[in-house]
Amino acid sequence: MIRILFVCHGNICRSPMAEYVMKDMVHKRGIEGRFEIASAATSREEIANPVYPPARRMLSKHGIDCCGHHARQMTRGDYDRYDYIIGMDRENLRNICRIAGSDPMGKVSLLLDHTARSGQEVADPWYTGNFEETWQDVWDGCTGLLAEMEG
């Protein structure tokens, strides 16, 4: 079982988009049984809130359902549970390592590190309002991450 945790600040836009995109990708390949995929926040600001409506609409536009998602905060125990902990931006990475204590096993990376755009951050639509750009970043990152795992 490969366990992946996607993480952003509030767990209502980028990380749930990545969670549900990746779940859709592995489902379409018929390999969902090999994966546990989830998402979490580094903050407590949005705990228990659903996916932000524009993010939900973007997923729906691509035929992906995120119904039932509720934001949760990452815990120290998540570091031990998950094989990959994928942040959306550098601030997420700092906060992930703060929550986990450090990253001694090298589990933490940026989503776009799994693409030709390594080192770049997933656009935050909370500030940009551009959910299409975020969708493309998430799609590219999940595609690259899955290709690494399959290859």
* Catalytic-labelled residue, pool 8, 13, 66, 142: 8
Tell me how far CA of residue 12 lies from CA of 33, 66, 118, 140, 148, in angstroms.
25, 11, 24, 19, 26
β-bridge pairing 35-41 and 2-8: parallel
**66 has catalytic annotation:** no
* Catalytic-labelled residue, pool 14, 66, 78, 140: 14
* DSSP string covering 66-105: -TT----B--HHHHHH-SEEEESSHHHHHHHHHHHS--TT
Q: Which residues pair with 6 in a beta bridge?
A: 39, 86
3-state secondary structure of 31: coil
**8 has catalytic annotation:** yes
* Catalytic-labelled residue, pool 113, 124, 137, 140: 124
**14 has catalytic annotation:** yes
Residues acting as catalytic residues? 8, 14, 124
